[in-house]
Amino acid sequence: MRLVILLAVAVLGLAGTAQTKSPPTPEDLQLDEAEALVDAFYSFDPAQLRPALADAPKSLPVILYYQGWAEGGNYEVLDRKTCRFDKANEVRCAITVKDDLIAALGTGYDVTDVFHITFGGGRIAAVRTSSNDPPEMKQAFDWLVERNADFLKVEPCRGFFAGGPTPQDCVRAVVKGFADFASRPAG
């Protein structure tokens, strides 16, 4: 009988624990939504990303372009930190990647991309990105544009990070240019 009572108390204690779990806070839901956006981005499927940006129309063309760029540049996630609040309504998601751009430069550096996700009315209202690109990346990019002033105005880079039609082809052209930059004679 004593065993039955102890088991009944244990079961009631477990049931009570399950019932005391509090519902998610609005902040928890926003963090979940931010994580889902990052998942959708790295799926490399625009159909998965579009719904996450439904209430962020100004961010949509830039982030969709970046998704295509990341796909064409063979971004491989090396380290994904949990999204966290940076400010009251802004979540920060940091993802370290290996990609063809940095490989072409031969720096051995891995870039951390950060998604800054702003919420309004409980929904994603804006998304911007930043990264800690090495200085060689800016130098190589400047070198590419110096050699061809129209590089970002014509195919394949027309609409560069503004909803252009061929981000995958553009990043591949930039990777080739970066390799040329890295292999040029010194001096």
Over residues 43-68, the pLDDT tens digits come to 999 999 999 999 999 999 999 999 99
Residue 26 · residue 120 · CB < 8 Å: no
Is position 13 within any domain?
no
CA 127-56-171 angle, 5° bins: 55
- Domain membership of residue 121 (yes or no) is yes
Position 176 in a domain: yes
Dihedral sign computed on CA atoms, order 45, 94, 178, 151 = positive
**Domain with 148 in it: what CATH number?**
3.10.450.50
Q: What's the rounded Cα separation, in Å, for the pair 139 and 82?
A: 32
CA 127 to chain centre: 10
- pTM (predicted TM-score): 0.86
Distances from the Cα of 54 to the Cα of 32, 45, 50, 64, 125, angstroms: 16, 15, 6, 12, 9
**CA–CA separation, 75 vs 90, rounded Å?**
24
- What pairs with residue 116 in β-bridges? 92, 128
With tokens 């499927």, the residue in question is 45
Specify the pLDDT at position 4. Answer: 41
8 Å CB contact between 125 and 135: no
Name the domain count of the chain: 1
Asked, for residue 156, whether it belongs to a domain, the answer is yes
**What domain range is 77 assigned to?**
25-183
pLDDT in tens, the chain (187 residues): 443 443 343 444 444 444 568 898 989 999 999 999 999 999 999 999 999 999 999 999 999 999 999 999 999 999 999 999 999 899 999 999 999 999 999 998 999 999 999 999 989 999 999 999 999 999 999 999 999 989 888 999 999 988 899 999 999 999 999 999 999 987 5
The answer to whether residue 48 is domain-embedded is: yes
Residue 83 counted as domain residue = yes
What token pair was written down for 130? 């930043």
Q: Domain for residue 3, yes or no?
A: no
